[in-house]
Amino acid sequence: MPREINEKILAALRTELNLQTAEYPWAELQRQFAAGGVIAVDPELDLVDVAARIAVDDKQSVERWMETKQLSQVLDEQAQQWLDKNAMLWTVVVKPWILVQERRQPSRH
């Protein structure tokens, strides 16, 4: 039976984590990437919500995102692409991980 996630705790955590997000150039995250500590979050997901759910150990959500490849360790190919284009990524730390996310491109109407 899945563990009940306390929504009040989750909301407070989202607020706290939102204040800790920052935009960083991928080049400055190379050391953490080399150590295997960088996790890519699909641009379709809310970076802060993902971080909060990891922090409260919401295994069900994390496993679902991993299965659909919306959450995964950064692969060498992706890392090289980000390095080549001097990518700026949104980041938030949920120890021991650094979660990174490319900016969503605004949709054209």
Give per-residue pLDDT as tens, 14-29. 999 999 999 999 999 9
Q: Is the pLDDT assigned to residue 108 strictly greater than 70?
A: no
pLDDT value of position 58: 93
DSSP 8-state symbol, 27: G
Q: What is the pLDDT of residues 30-53, one digit of tens each?
A: 999 999 999 999 999 999 999 999
pLDDT band at 3 (very low <50, low <70, confident <90, very high): low
Nearest to 50 by CA among 86, 97, 8: 97
Q: 45: helix, coil or strand?
A: coil
Nearest to 26 by CA among 93, 72, 74: 74
pLDDT band at 5 (very low <50, low <70, confident <90, very high): confident
Name the percent of the chain in helix, strand, coil, to the closest 5. 45, 20, 30
pLDDT value of position 106: 55
Q: What is the C-alpha separation between 108 and 89, in angstroms, rounded?
A: 21
The two tokens of residue 72 are 């995964």
pLDDT value of position 107: 52
User: Distances in Å between the alpha carbon of 81 and those of 12, 26, 74?
Assistant: 35, 10, 11
> What global pTM score does this model have?
0.88
